[in-house]
Amino acid sequence: MKNLRKVFAMVTALSAICMSASAFAATTATGAFDKAAVTGDYSGIAAEDGSNTVVATVDTTLAQTGTQMTFIVLDADAVEESLAAGDILYIDQKELKAGDNSFTGAINLDRVTGAEGTLPDGSYVIKLGFTDANGDFQIAKATMVVATGSEGTTIEILWGDVNQDGVFNVNDAAKIVVGLTGGSKVCGEYTLGEASNGILWGDVNQDGVFNVNDAAKIVVGLTGGSKVCGEYTLGETAEITVAAE
């Protein structure tokens, strides 16, 4: 399970792999929130001052000011269905105001196994609860992936091309359904629902799991709905740097 700490929370098909030009890659932290109202800034994780901070900002045009918002950061080993106090690296609640719409969470490294002044490589769940412009309570979620290595691998991905046939189309959704209903999960050299080369194969919509929602997202994107998957877009090529194993 340790390798899962380097898993990018979403994936599709691998188009090409080449080695990064960097001889010594710095620590990187990535992971978009799944609600447009919330954006994350992870520059404090890689900062040389060792601040280990995460910033989440709520767009006040998409959320109601004067309401409470709650911010939580969980450890990479946390099981959300049975959280212990030690799993919570940061938690806070405050009122959303026009001039005060961000949380800056300083992660408690004392609760992180193996932390020696910096946050270890891993996939950390971040959640922010807020009230949207319609008065409905929403929970925005991101998976912050922290990775450090002496070398990196740059992967070009055609987002949504799950079955690795070089195109993004309805066959990719069909492949997911086949894999979930007892059929073959093999996609070239990759397997649906398994982690390989730092990728959770088939997790198109970036919610951290591989399930029928990934097929549904492809169908939505192909029938005129949103193609946005966190920081990636269905049918478009993206370059992702994966830390060396």
Domains defined along the chain, listed by start:
2-23+151-243 (no CATH), 26-148 (2.60.40.10)
The β-bridge relationship of strands 228-229 and 237-243 is unpaired
Residue 10 has pLDDT above 50, yes or no: no
Mean pLDDT over residues 121-147, rounded?
89
How would residue 242 be classed by pLDDT, with cut points 50, 70 and 90?
Answer: low
pLDDT score at 209:
84
With H, G, I as helix, E, B as strand and everything else as coil, classify residue 242: strand
Asked whether the beta carbons of 68 and 92 are under 8 A apart, the reply is no
Q: Percent of the chain having pLDDT more than 70?
A: 81
Asked whether the beta carbons of 152 and 242 are under 8 A apart, the reply is yes
Which carries the bigger pLDDT value, residue 209 or residue 128? 128
Mean pLDDT over residues 30-56, rounded?
84
Rounded to an integer, what distance in angstroms lies between the CA atom of residue 15 and that of residue 77?
31
pLDDT score at 18:
25
Number of H helices, E strands in the chain: 2, 17
pLDDT score at 2:
33
Dump strand ranges (E) for the chain. Answer: 13-19, 25-30, 38-41, 53-58, 68-74, 88-95, 102-106, 122-131, 137-149, 152-158, 186-187, 190-191, 195-196, 199-200, 228-229, 232-233, 237-243
pLDDT score at 46:
72
Mean pLDDT over residues 178-196, rounded?
87
Cα 211 off chain centre by? 16
Residue 8 has pLDDT above 60, yes or no: no
With H, G, I as helix, E, B as strand and everything else as coil, classify residue 104: strand
How would residue 17 be classed by pLDDT, with cut points 50, 70 and 90?
Answer: very low
Mean pLDDT over residues 3-29, rounded?
37
Weakest mean pLDDT among 19-28, 170-179, 180-189, 214-223: 19-28
59-87 tens-digit pLDDT: 999 999 999 999 998 888 888 778 888 88
Which carries the bigger pLDDT value, residue 125 or residue 116? 125
**Residue of 126, 118, 117 lying closest to 31 (CA atoms):** 126
Mean pLDDT of the chain: 80
Q: Percent of the chain having pLDDT more than 90?
A: 36
Rounded to an integer, what distance in angstroms lies between the CA atom of residue 88 and that of residue 79?
11
pLDDT score at 156:
79
Mean pLDDT over residues 18-45, rounded?
70
Rounded to an integer, what distance in angstroms lies between the CA atom of residue 29 and that of residue 49?
15
How would residue 198 be classed by pLDDT, with cut points 50, 70 and 90?
Answer: low
pLDDT score at 223:
95
With H, G, I as helix, E, B as strand and everything else as coil, classify residue 162: coil
pLDDT score at 76:
83
pLDDT score at 21:
31
